[in-house]
Amino acid sequence: MGSTKRAVSAAIFILFLSTSLRATTVSDDSFAIPGGDSYVAVKSQLSEVFWIGGESAPTQWSISPETPTAGDVIHFSGPTGVYSNACFASGALGGSPTLTIDRGNKTIELWFHPPAPGACLTYYDPVCGLEGSFGPLEPGEWMFFGHGQIPGGKNNGVAFLVPLTVDVAPAGVRKCSVKAGKSRKGEPARGLPDFVGRDSISFSGLLDAGIRDLVNADVIAVTIDSDYMPQPLPCVFAINDGSLKNGKYRSSRIKAGKNYPKLSFKFDAGKHKFAFAARKVDLSGLNCPISVTVEIGNYVAYVELDEDIVNGKKPIPIQFMVGVKDRLGVDKIKVKAGKKAGADSLAVKGGFSLKDEPSEITSMTLFLGDQPFDLTDDAGTFTYKRNSKTSEITSVAYKTKRGETPQIKARLDFVKCSYSVLIKKTELETTFGQTTFGVLIDMSLSDSDYNESAEVDLD
């Protein structure tokens, strides 16, 4: 007759236990309701049990998925022996199949809630096992089991033992946006904490946490980190009566000075959607992959954000690397072959970062593949712009003298972390295909030279 499901005539009796307290009802779970001589079935969001119809029983008790996460609904099935119908099965096993979830001891027990049926009709509609589902469960080591004969009782039951490990559920982030401040100077602001800055980050997606996680937690903690960040960025949100209503959490506004970070977190436990945002924070060293950890009480979710999620098709701002690591990026590159020898040109624009403070440049060399282009005081002039208050270098421009070849114009903006290069009247060794563009800067006051390159594709 196939493996048609026979709904159990008894309620799914969910008990949430601790080591010292047994609670028979929970707001978002079902519980047993007396209904005459038996129990009326109540649909549970967390658990359900069905008889397996037919005579072809599963060979053993098992769960699916075998390695669940904290967001999974776990399905199970197993043999009970073949009985003429569900009523005879309940009578032989001691009552109606029931699941008890003990979250304190991390156990799921399948047992048979009395009373067993007193009499059954003799029609033949065989059942051979049980199947159903439970969860989601909290991370940790759990035990799914059933007893055989209970000492001193009439319940025969079914005996089995299935250990399971519930892993931490990964958060799912669908969209992430990061933005660097217009300047890396002056961070942190005087008298303010280290995490104060001019950067911003926001992301949204799904969490497998539920209302129970919110009710049992005091705070929500979001931590942002990546390989080159000097220290993670911790963001903590208090959970109170004002922030949690009808299964929806919205962080309370914190009144602080205008220079302090602006943080927000929203979470709908019913739809499992969340959104996070942080402004006026210091994200120095941020690069992909970005690791995000969300903690709500015992619930922990971890996810890594790659380039395909962060800022869409745009690269992560290279400004985050200022003072942390030397980097070079190419946004646009164009080569043009001249109609005669020595008439080729090269134009490049992109971004860069310096680990050390910029200082006087004694020389600079640009590379297209292995071909060098030297920028020196002998062939041209370096022109500096400085901050009027601090005398720090904000930009440097270079231009070759009239009559020199090749003709080179270059500009480095240390505030915007951008550069532009134009080389004319030259003979390019490479005009198409994949190669590299590199920059070597000899800075007189720096402990080390800047020597970075990036892969480029010439049309």
In the predicted structure, residue 438 carries a pLDDT above the cut 60: yes
Report residue 35's pLDDT band, with 50, 70 and 90 as the boundaries: very low
Q: How many distinct helices (H) and strands (E) make up the chain? A: 2, 33
Q: For the purposes of burial, counting CB atoms within 10 Å of the CB of 213, is it exposed (0-12), middle (13-18) or buried (19 or more)?
A: buried
pLDDT over 70 percentage in the chain: 82
Model confidence, pTM: 0.60
Quick check: helix, strand or coil at residue 432?
Answer: coil
107-113 vs 140-146, strand pairing mode:
parallel
Q: How far is CA 42 from the centre of its chain?
A: 36
Mean per-residue pLDDT for 290-306? Answer: 92
Nearest to 366 by CA among 383, 384, 379: 379
Q: For the purposes of burial, counting CB atoms within 10 Å of the CB of 453, is it exposed (0-12), middle (13-18) or buried (19 or more)?
A: middle
Mean per-residue pLDDT for 411-434? Answer: 93
Half-sphere exposure of 48 (CA within 13 A, CB side): 12
Contacts of 62 (CB under 8 A, 6+ apart): 76, 77, 78, 162
Domain boundaries, given as residue ranges, for the chain? 5-166, 172-320, 326-458
d(CA 73, CA 408): 64
Range in 81-90, 183-192, 212-221, 269-278 with the lowest mean pLDDT: 183-192
Mean per-residue pLDDT for 146-165? Answer: 74
Quick check: helix, strand or coil at residue 242?
Answer: coil
- Mean pLDDT, all residues of the chain: 82
Nearest to 199 by CA among 186, 221, 183, 176: 183
Mean per-residue pLDDT for 185-206? Answer: 70
In the predicted structure, residue 171 carries a pLDDT above the cut 60: yes
Residue 54 or 444, more confident:
54
Q: What is the pLDDT of residue 149?
A: 57
Nearest to 291 by CA among 234, 200, 226: 226
CATH class of the domain at 326-458: mainly beta
Q: What is the pLDDT of residue 20?
A: 23
C-alpha separations of 179 from 205, 235, 250, 426 in Å: 19, 18, 23, 38
In the predicted structure, residue 148 carries a pLDDT above the cut 90: no
Q: What is the pLDDT of residue 409?
A: 97
In the predicted structure, residue 15 carries a pLDDT above the cut 90: no
C-alpha separations of 241 from 18, 26, 210, 238 in Å: 25, 19, 17, 10
Helix (H) or strand (E) holding 128: strand 127-134
Range in 87-96, 355-364, 443-452 with the lowest mean pLDDT: 443-452
Range in 54-68, 120-134, 142-156 with the lowest mean pLDDT: 142-156
